[in-house]
Structure 1
């Protein structure tokens, strides 16, 4: 008997079952990006796109090729700000969440 599950399927099922989980993933991706860790942000976004929008729907919504989106959100991806804004916007819209930025002083 197999005791493990595929990570992507686990994330997808949890995102569907728990919209707050999907919103938290989007928040983590944005936070990682803003805190200077774009690689982590891309990987979280990739998992979230797979779990929510799907790359084909994201391609249609952002007017960008699906293969390009896959490359952008890979570990070695290098999306420009316009592409990142389009991806964040499409996922945010699909999840029905809004972003709020708050500055905090670093200790």
Structure 2
């Protein structure tokens, strides 16, 4: 029987070992959101939060209940732009990144 590792645990370990991986997850969540795939963006953001700051600390930072944040970032969640903005700002701060967007023409 093959040994398996829980996905959340794998992501958390990878983030701990490679800070650039966490930044790549944040970048991917932003790209997906801007491309209209909010469902996948929320799931990636949820995994990133679990692997870094955790929902308890995020709740303190954005002044929202933990349960509300979990619901917002679930598949059926529908966060407001204000809430998403606060979450992304907190993650940028936690990861010490500045997000720069580039606009290109097709």
Same fold (TM over 0.5): yes
What TM-score, normalized by structure 1, do the two folds share? 0.96
Alpha-carbon distance between aligned partners in 2 of 1:20 and 1:50, rounded to the nearest angstrom: 16
RMSD: 0.9
1:38 aligns with 2:41: no
Alpha-carbon distance between aligned partners in 1 of 2:62 and 2:25, rounded to the nearest angstrom: 20
Shift in Å, 1:16: 1.0
Question: Which residue matches 2:8?
Answer: 8
1:3-61 C-alpha deviation (Å, 9 max, x unpaired): 11000000001111100000000000000000111001100000000000100000000
Runs of 4+ in 1 over 4 A off after TM superposition: none
1:71 aligns with 2:71: yes
Query: Unaligned 5+ residue runs, structure 2?
Result: none
What TM-score, normalized by structure 2, do the two folds share? 0.97
Question: Which residue matches 1:97?
Answer: 97
